[in-house]
Every structure is written in structure tokens, then in C-alpha cells.
Amino acid sequence: MNKVSANLYELSHNYSDKHIDNYGRHISYILFRLLYLAFILALVSSSANTVSAQHKIDPEAWVEMRKMLWKKGPAPTIEEDIATLAGPDFKRAGPRLIDHGSEALPAIHAAIRSPEIEPRHAQKLLQLLRYIGDESSVPVVLELLGRDEKFLLRRDALLVLAYLPSTEEAASFIIHLANDDNEKWFTRRMAFTWFGFHRDPRGRRYAEPLRAEPDLEKQAAGLYLLARLGDTSVLEPITQLLIAPPGKFT
């Protein structure tokens, strides 16, 4: 290779390295911006109470920030947004209703109590009760559980009940559910979730029998409940359960 060719090769090689390096930085910058945008969108979609607890942001200020993403023009009424939840635009209606907080609850409660409510619509309304998290929703969820035996909706309602504040009325229902051997396991297990979420010691009587069950899922439910009640003796069996191959834990 003569001197001219060598110089050209070195120049092209250096240019290529610089070009690739610049290209890499450019791609990294784009990826960072995309990830940042995804983070902001996820944060904005969170409920005001969740953001307040995690990031120490005043809930009222967060609601006002979220309103900037709303469509321009007159805001829909609470009743209109509740109706919208049944259709394809529910992703916008849900956050708006959460932002209304307890103000939206009377209309949401009335919709859930309606005999004409469709299961999918009720599921979305139940999630609003979960995010708003007001004790006044407990009787509404219990009414729904008392009249509805649909598997998916029943399980969702039981999970929402676990997220809502603990009341004696809810505890009475949960104890009855935990004692009902005719209840399907996939919904009966939510009783033990309720005891665990609220660290209610009345659940301890169910935990040890569950722990002794041959079924791994029932064992896990018992161990979870004992762990939530502060029983440190479950640390070792929980560790074994996590590291054991499927079906091998004893």
C-alpha cells in the first residue's frame, strides 16, 4: 500500500469510527428521550393518591397537571364519563373519573348497583373504586358480591374489596367466604388475600391448614398470609418454594 493509499485508508477509517460513534450517541439520545417519555406517560396515568404516596407530590397539583392532557373544550360530566367507560374511549374517561375522587363515587355506585350493568363495564367501574379507595365503596362491592356469581367479576370484586379500607362488614363477609368449602378456590383464595392485605389476625386460623396442603398454590397462600402477619418462621419455606423446580416443593 503506497503512502497516498495509506493516508486515504486511515482517513476513511477515522471518519468511519467517528461516524459510528456519533451515530451511537444519536441513537442513545433518541432511546433516552423515548424512555423518558414513556416514564412521564406512565406517571401521568397513575392515580393522584399513588403519585402523592410515591413521589410526595400534592394530589390536587397532580390532578391539575393531568388536566393539561385532556382534550380541549368542555369537560364531560361524571355521568358521561361513566357511560364512556363501556365504549372504546374508556382510557380517557377512567383517569378523569379518578381525578374527581370521592365526588364521582355516588354516580359510580349507582351505575354498579344498576341491574342493567354489563360485566365488562362493571369491571372498569370496580377498578375506579380501587384507585379512589374510599370506605363508602365497601357496601357497594359487598352488594355486588351478594348478587353476582360470575367468576371473573366475582374475583375482581373480591380483589377490589381487599384494596379498600377494612370494615367489620367486609370482615364478616370474608370470614364466611373463607369457611365456605363450596366456593371455587380461585375466588375463595381472595379471602386470604384480604386477610393478608389488612394483616388481620383472624386469618391465622386458616393459614396453618393451607400451609399443610399438598397443593402448591394453597401452600403459597398460607405462607403469604403468615408472612403478612409477621411470622418469621415462614422465611425458609418461602425461600424453598421460590427456588424449587415446579411441582417439587414439599
Of residues 49 and 244, more confidence is placed in: 244
**Residue 222 in contact with residue 208, Cβ under 8 Å?**
yes
**What pLDDT is stored for residue 134 in this prediction?**
95
The dihedral through the CA atoms of 194, 196, 202, 205 has a sign that is positive
Q: What's the pLDDT score for residue 75?
A: 79
Residue 125 CA to residue 133 CA, distance in Å, equals: 12
166-222 pLDDT, tens digit per residue, is: 999 999 999 999 999 888 898 899 999 999 999 999 999 999 999 899 888 899 999
Three-class SS state of 204: helix
C-alpha–C-alpha distance, residues 184 and 150, integer Å: 11
Q: What angle do CA 157, 160, 161 make, to 5 degrees?
A: 85
Q: Give the SS3 label for residue 161.
A: helix
Specify whether the CB–CB gap between 146 and 177 falls below 8 A. no
Of the pLDDT bands very low, low, confident and very high (cuts 50, 70, 90), residue 38 is low
**Alpha-carbon span 170 to 187, nearest angstrom:** 15
Rounded to the nearest 10°, the torsion over CA 64, 70, 75, 78 is -80
pLDDT at 15: 46
Contact by Cβ (8 Å): 158, 192 = no
Q: What are the structural domain ranges in the chain?
A: 46-165, 166-250
User: How high is the pLDDT of residue 8?
Assistant: 43
The pLDDT of residue 202 = 96
pLDDT per position as a tens digit, 123-155: 999 999 999 999 999 999 999 998 866 656 898
Give this prediction's pTM.
0.69
Answer yes or no: is pLDDT of 3 > 60: no
Report CA 77 to chain centroid distance, whole Å: 26
Q: What is the pLDDT of residue 76?
A: 87
pLDDT at 58: 61
Residue whose C-alpha cell reads 370482615 in the numeric block: 171
pLDDT tens digits for range 69-122: 555 557 789 999 999 998 887 778 888 898 889 999 999 999 999 988 888 899
Can you tell me the distance from the alpha carbon of 121 to that of 116, in angstroms, rounded to the nearest whole number? 10
Q: Residue 136: how many CA atoms within 13 Å on its side-chain side?
A: 12
pLDDT at 73: 59
